[in-house]
Amino acid sequence: MSAIRLLVLGAVRQHGRAHGYQVRNDLEYWGAHEWSNAKPGSIYHALKQMAKQGLMLAHDIAPSPAGGPPRTEYELTEAGTEEYFKLLRESLSQYDRKIDELSAAVGFLVDLPREEAVALLKERVRGLEEWRLSVTEYYTPEDGPEQLGHIGEIMNMWVNSADSGAEWTRGLIERIEGGAYVFAGEGEPFVGVLGEGEVNPYATGEPDPEYDAEGPPPAG
């Protein structure tokens, strides 16, 4: 699974309805273009692809002031909401997910109930511990990587990756169990999107295929 799928679903869900430029602006505000494939072309492709798959509804609104085609706004269907939570749960709980997928999932962590988020993260820790055990069937960390020649460095990297991943996840679990953050059903969540007309200090300025064709998004 590419992180872009979860990121785009989550960004549209936060708005209710959003056009591609809004989604791109949000993802750049979160820095997702630095740690994932959240580039303009990938974002628009994901929106159109998921609309074809029935995960989003595409609504054509008024043509742009520049005379381009009608701007398209997207909203999640019931199937899209189910897909969003499926990807979110998988990316939090499965230890072998890529770092961009885990990063995206952590960004939407509070969309889940607190208890469920903790349970999913504990599942991730169990997976990391089991993975570490499978590596140490062939490699003893205490004896150092040299015991297997330079190939031992691969085993050493895996063990250290498992240890650091588990340590970080346990720390997050501890903070959540200690009451950090506002989770689903607990009140007003943290708002991580820009307000209408608010300047994005992290915008890349990279050409936007639909923005350039249509002009700036309409106000209001």
- Span 160-184, pLDDT tens digits: 999 999 999 999 999 999 999 999 9
pLDDT of residue 220: 36
Q: What is the mean pLDDT of the segment spanning 69-81? A: 90
Query: Residue 59, SS3?
Result: strand
Q: Is the pTM of this model over 0.75?
A: yes
Residues 6+ apart with CB under 8 A from 148: 138, 139, 155
Instruction: Give the whole-number percent of the chain exceeding pLDDT 90.
Output: 52
- Residues facing 59 on adjacent strands: 73
Please give the mean pLDDT across all residues of the chain: 85
pLDDT band of 69, cuts 50, 70, 90:
low
Distance of CA 126 to the CA centre of its chain: 22
Which of the given ranges, 28-32, 37-41, 104-108, 146-150, has the highest pLDDT on average?
A: 104-108
Mean pLDDT in residue range 103-132? 96
Q: What pLDDT, on a 0 to 100 scale, did the predictor assign at position 212?
A: 46
Task: Tell me what pLDDT residue 22 has.
Answer: 87
Q: Is the pLDDT reported for residue 4 higher than 70?
A: yes
Rounded distance between C-alpha atoms, residue 18 and residue 150, angstroms? 51
Q: Is the pLDDT of residue 62 over 70?
A: no
- What is the distance between the alpha carbons of residues 145 and 157, in angstroms, rounded to a whole number? 9
